[in-house]
Structure 1
């Protein structure tokens, strides 16, 4: 990606953000909307600056739990996808359970995670894992099953075994799909970690960003709530950007579509 293309990708959303922020600031000023209902962007930025240390520590705690959940999702989800790709009857028998597992709202089972794992990072990591694992399973499985039939025939002609075909053809072909699933899962892992913190955080060292949001709501500090939500959004964007960078670095010499982003 050239310097000019980088600017063309960054400048338009930045300009639109500034325009929307300025418009919202003026609209809230013109309508004299109380800060406790909807704080102006300038007030949110001021709260972010005033609580920078606390929110940074909380964001780092959430980032740790989300990172662990995402790593476990990548390992477990990739492994399950490989197992499901082995035979059609395996997929018919077990893939519906993976879909069902995804439909269960993490908010509903978060209290059960406390019972199973106790309060603290283990339950929060489990929440991040539960939310983020299915996109990796679904996308990796799609990649494993959509390998070029001509290449599969070539491997059969040369009498390659199932393990050799898996390691040398199907797995490499599924890497772009796996990375797509990882992109989706990266943002979901942050959401899952925050939901887990609402229920299972121990408030140690101030807790994570979900705890900061809860405390600010109870203290009726709406500007701090928005500042914490902003930090959570930036954390999700950071995760997505890191996965995008890893995807670009790993695929730029092999898969053309990855180099165009």
Structure 2
């Protein structure tokens, strides 16, 4: 075995292991449904779900695009606003102590409780959905980035003080680079929460019609007892969430690979 092959083997295992577990799970699921003669309106098997996914592909993928559109705008808004809030907190300890508890309150407030109000206040339904999803997705970015900005090495901080660095130089050359791993960790969490927030907001809004998202398709399938279609929509949501997480992991490794231990090949 060459050194190159040996170095690539852990990566292959990291991909093959979860795929193998997933394939085994699907096989057991299909066997349980067939052996137990479970009707599809109670628990459809993977093959029936796949058939439903193919049969309703145009409708489901159009709905997925609408949900991803809300997710994208909410994620961008949460990233910008969360980063700005964290940078603001980093400039003043008093500001952080005064405002950070309100960020926590925003996080722990159930979105299903305030989403109806947001939808009433904001006449544009799509904008209301984006606001709801942003509220859910913003806290991990604020929390992680603030933690990163405050986790500066004491020795490096003393070195910058020794060289009489200005606050701007200390922020740009020390605190922000040191906070990047925390920031990208927040992005990984926030990307999934933005998708969850979009789906929850769609559930609460109950928007239907041609421009509806996957949440509406799930609701309609459940009402009509079209359980295979409902599972197909759920699988699309799951795959979209996994894809977002993987995208954030790739982005993090690309940004940090040349200098931070967390992104170096192991």
* TM-score band, normalised by shorter chain: over 0.9
Residue 220 of structure 2 corresponds to which residue in structure 1?
215
Q: Indicate yes or no: 2:40 matched with 1:51.
A: no
CA deviation vs aligned residue, 1:119-149 (integer Å, no higher than 9, x gap) = 5211111121011100000000010000111
User: How many angstroms does 1:260 deviate by?
Assistant: 3.8
CA shift for structure 1 position 167: 1.3
**Which digits, 9 at most, give the CA deviation of each residue in 1:26-61, with x for residues without a partner?**
112222222111111111111111111111111111
Indicate yes or no: 2:130 matched with 1:129: no
TM-score for both structures, normalised by structure 2: 0.94
RMSD: 1.6
Among 63, 68, 81, the alignment partner of 2:68 is 63
Structure 1 distance, partners of 2:62, 2:264, is 35
* Cα separation, 1, equivalents of 2:159 and 2:63: 53
Partner of 2:238: 233
2:185 paired residue among 169, 174, 180 = 180
Give unpaired runs (5+ residues) of structure 2: none
Matched, 1:170 2:168: no
- Where does residue 37 of structure 1 map in the other structure? 42
The DSSP-based 3-state class of the residue aligned with 1:26 is helix
Residue of structure 2 in register with 1:100 after alignment:
105
Match of 1:205 in 2: 210
Distance 2:77 2:88 in 1: 16
State the partner residue of 1:194. 199
**Alpha-carbon distance in 2 for matches of 1:98, 1:177:** 18
What is the CA–CA distance in structure 1 between the aligned matches of 2:11 and 2:62, rounded to whole Å? 31
Q: How many residues align?
A: 261
Q: Is the 8 A contact 1:58 1:207 kept in 2?
A: yes
2: CA distance between counterparts of 1:112 and 1:190? 20
Does structure 1 residue 151 correspond to structure 2 residue 156?
yes
